[in-house]
Amino acid sequence: MAGTGLWGVGFCVAAVLWLGPAVSGSAGEVSEPVVHGRPAADSAAPGDATRTLKRDLAAAHSRLAEVEASLAQETKGREKAVQDLVSAWKQLKATRDEAEKLQRQVAETSRLAGRAREFEKRLADNAKELDERKRQLETARESQTRLQRQVDDLQKRTAAIPALEGRVDQAQADVAR
């Protein structure tokens, strides 16, 4: 399609070059009348004018080809720039998405770290409480052992009381006699 439009431009350039010598002056001026008949001796031969026009047309075609090549190159450059821009935009979007994901992970990690610290504190408190309860248990065992000795001692004494009562009764009977 681009070649079709440029071909039209080339055709217009050729037409201007072809008609250019016939139309001289500005738009408001009247051109010189065209003389039919034999050319004057000083005018160029018709073959020379045709050759000049063909040369000018060839130069216009050459320039047109250069412009078309330049346009094609610029179009390729523009398309590559657009592709690069789209690629950079996609990469930026992916980077932003990844950054948001990492921010969510950091927030979750921070929350979990806070819970871990809370659990560590509870564990330390539970360890202190366990140590305190072990100490209390040891104290209770010592008290139980001491009380058990006292109970054993009292049981021995109570077991000895009937024998002592028998002796006391005998001693009172001996005293009463």
Tell me, what's the pLDDT at 14? 57
Tell me, what's the pLDDT at 15? 56
- pLDDT tens digits for range 67-78: 999 999 999 999
Tell me, what's the pLDDT at 167? 82
Residues of the chain with pLDDT under 50: 1-3, 22-31, 33-35, 41-42
- pLDDT tens digits for range 110-134: 999 999 999 999 999 999 999 999 9
Angle subtended by helix axes 2-19 and 46-176, to nearest 10: 150
